[in-house]
Structure 1
Amino acid sequence: MSVTSEEINYLIFRYLQESGFVHTGFAFQNESHIHRSEYRNANVQPGALVNVLQKGLLYMDLELHVNEDGSERECTGPVALIGPHRCDKQAKKPKREEVVNRGSKRDRKDSKRAQKQQQDREKRARTEADEEEKDDNMMDTDQVEDVSVVGTPAESADLAEVKVIPASDAITLKGHAADVFVCSWNPTSPSLLASGSGDATARIWQIPTNADEPLQDPIVLKHLPALTNANRDVTTMDWNSSGTLLATGFYDGQARIWTQRGQLRYLMSQHRGPIFALKWNKKGNYILTGSLDHTTIVWDAVTGDAKQQHEFHTGAVLDVDWLDNTTFATSSSDGKVYVCKVGSTEPLRVFEGHKDEVNAIRWDPLGELLASCSDDKTAKIWSMSQKDCIFDLTAHSEAVYDMTWAPREASSKDPRILATASFDTSVRLWDANNGECLRVLSRHIEAVYTVAFNPSGTHLATGSPDHTINIWRVQDGALVKTYQGEGGIFEVDWNSTGDKLAACVANGTLVVAHVKL
């Protein structure tokens, strides 16, 4: 085996071209005489240099963690291209398939969905086996009637009032070449929508006021070429509060800051694994990211530099949320929730109580309570004033994947409402003042992936892999509008004026519905 400097130079040259470093690539070509090389017309796949480096890291990983007898040494510490490796023997090294399954929001949902489907199949098999043992005479008239019942008269009346959102009130945004599973409306420009996909791009769309108006071509934000179709995901995105900058997280572990016009302002590289969560603070001077590498990083948004990296978790960081401009919470597959402060080397609080990975965390609008939801089928509400949760919400029968707080003013006497979405096909509305379940919203026929309140808090949108978007009235839990899409729904999001609802669809499109409530 031999490697020549000409081969290395050519891979570097291709990397510079693919990354958009046009002037640097031109200078490097002239200085290294690539144009005279025998490899100048070589057929090299995109991302070849990164591919070689990653394979080298895999070899280094094996070399560092294989004992003399051939057994594998347990270690969760990532092997880096630059810097010394530190073995972490306190936690078991994750299996390769676990890493793949947590590769993006989409992959984690698909993995959970597959687990639930397997459980349902096993449950049906057990039920069918039990029924076969019963005598045929046990199937009486009442049982036959139960099978044919669609719903109670009240439920049937409710269904008659549900209005289907017509195709004329919806715009389908096409252009992504893979599933679209994250989107974010600009907070100050109600017609500006960003989307992220598994095609290694994000896009910024200008949505027409009316569905029949022509649609402009989006601004395409190209991320670095990924190695395979499995890891080309823009995993998360968030606008700053002024709506001037968009931050994106990518599977390659890098965060990026873009302008409204699609110009890349900063490329932020310090994570050693895919980024799962990303949030701006309200002031807009810090960005917080969480990664598969078990760490969170606070980035200085003015300079693009990493200000502080926290390494408290022993599992992948799945979500992050700011309490204020300097205090934030993080959740992880290790089942723990940490509350940290910029500049502090120790957490302010450690909330323990979940028995499985914590999928999401959200501070309430008043900044007094923190909600968390988990694969352990529960959601919990915490307060900084005590160690244990103040309410343990246990009514769901499957994993709780997403949740959101209803908007609320400090002077309001209305209950603090938390909505939770579960793989048991239901959404529940909770009163956070007493922990009681106010409503059960259960018209979806598959797991509910996403929930979002409109800006006034009067209605709740939900999305599911059953291809359905439902809009519910919070006051009485009535289903008032529904939309049947052409693919599973990964995420829904309202614009700042509440007249448009965006949905990410598994067929590579976005749907924007013009909603009149």
Structure 2
Amino acid sequence: IHILEYGPDIDKMRTLPGHESEITSLALSPDDRMLASACFDNTVKLWRVSSGEEIRTIDAHSGRVTCVTFSPNGELLATAGSDGDTKVWKVATGALQRTFHEGSMVWRVAFGEGGKTLAVTSTDNPISLWDVATGDKKASIKDEQVLSTVVAMSPGSQMLAASDIKNIAIWNSSNGNRICTLVGHEAWVFALAFSPDGKILASGSADNTIRLWKVPA
């Protein structure tokens, strides 16, 4: 892992060695002080950004780790794996808090509703919504037209966005209704992110473009 200092002339600040295989996902904590890295070696590592110090290693899954993300308050860390599980960990201690079993490879996870809900995309279930506090499944959004490998939840509303091959589908997560489809990319959409106020959605695609979309009110 290479940490770069952003500016007119980008310089490499430091290199973080430690993983034994390909790194699959990176996530910065909300306060930018901690970096989480996921790897094909089935582990997740937490790093202190300022010093490059490895804080801890979590043996997260029995298969490769596909995704890692922090909760909005930075207290929880969600990981997804090829073993079909999504797990939630306490950042301060590395203790396992919850396990959500999907049964097939999990592609991406995203926190929503202030960290109360976790959206999960997997091979068999396009989108599952889980209650982080209770561990109960709140809803499943099934759409035969969607093969979703990336998902994002709006921080300020019930909006949920997921890739639909090269298009983007937006749902109301409270009732599972599809609100609209955003068409424009010419290749697979592999990244989605809402703005902090939830009014803008950014998408990244294999067509080498990033697009900004106005989210329907």
TM bucket (normalised to shorter chain) is: 0.7 to 0.9
Tell me which residue corresponds to 2:141: 392
1:421 aligns with 2:170: no
Distance 1:205 1:292, change over 3 A: same
Aligned with 1:249: secondary structure? strand
Point out where structure 2 has 5 or more consecutive residues left out of the alignment: none
What residue is the counterpart of 1:52 in the other structure? none
Comparing 262-271 and 396-405, the one that deviates more: 262-271
Which structure's CA Rg is the greater one? 1
Aligned to 1:466, the other structure's residue is in SS state coil
Task: Compute the RMSD of aligned alpha carbons.
Answer: 3.6
Aligned equivalent of 1:244: 33
| 2:180 pairs with 1:439 | yes
1:452 and 2:170 matched: no
Asked if the contact 2:71–2:115 (Cα under 8 Å) also holds between the matched residues in 1, the reply is no
Alpha-carbon contact 1:363-1:369 (below 8 Å) kept: yes
Cα displacement (A) at 1:398: 4.2
Q: Normalized against structure 2, the TM-score is what?
A: 0.75
Distance 1:297 1:368 in 2: 12
* Unmatched runs of 5 consecutive residues or more in structure 1: 1-201, 209-213, 309-326, 336-356, 409-414, 477-517
**Are residue 204 (structure 1) and residue 3 (structure 2) matched?**
yes
Aligned partner (choices 259, 277, 283) of residue 67 of structure 2: 277
Once the two structures are superposed, what CA deviation does each residue of 1:113-133 show, in whole Å capped at 9, x if it has no partner? xxxxxxxxxxxxxxxxxxxxx
Indicate conservation of the 8 Å contact 1:377/1:399, yes or no: no
Q: Give 1:217 deviation, angstroms.
A: 0.8
CA contact (8 A) 1:331 1:359 kept: no
1:460/1:297 CA distance change after superposition, 3 Å: closer
CA contact (8 A) 2:80 2:109 kept: no
Contact 1:287–1:301 at 8 Å: present in 2 too?
no
2:110 aligns with one of 362, 376, 399: 362
Whole-angstrom CA distance in 2 between matches of 1:434 and 1:299: 30
- The CA deviation at 1:421 is 0.8
What percentage of aligned pairs have identical amino acids?
A: 20
- The Cα offsets for residues 452-504 of structure 1, whole Å up to 9 and x where unpaired, read as 1112211111122122221111138xxxxxxxxxxxxxxxxxxxxxxxxxxxx
Give the letter aligned to residue 444 of structure 1.
H
**How far apart are 1:419 and its partner, in Å?**
0.9
**2:153 corresponds to 1:405:** yes
Q: Would the alpha carbon gap of residues 220 and 385 (structure 1) be closer, same or farther in structure 2, given more than 3 Å must change?
A: closer
How far the C-alpha of 1:224 sits from its partner, in A, is 3.8
Asked whether the 8 Å contact 2:73–2:115 carries over to 1, the reply is no
SS for the counterpart of 1:401 is coil
| Contact 2:69-2:109 at 8 Å conserved across structures | no
Name the CA shift for 1:222/1:400 in 2 (closer, same or farther; >3 Å): same
List aligned pairs for 1:499-514, cutoff 5 A: none
Deviation at 1:297, TM superposition (A): 8.0
The code of the aligned residue for 1:276 comes to T
Query: Match of 1:215?
Result: 9
Q: What amino acid is the match of 1:373?
A: T
Give SS of 1:449's match.
strand
Map of 2:202 onto structure 1: 461
Structure 2 residue corresponding to 1:260, chosen from 49, 54, 66: 49
| Structure 2 Cα separation of the partners of residues 463 and 393 of structure 1 | 23
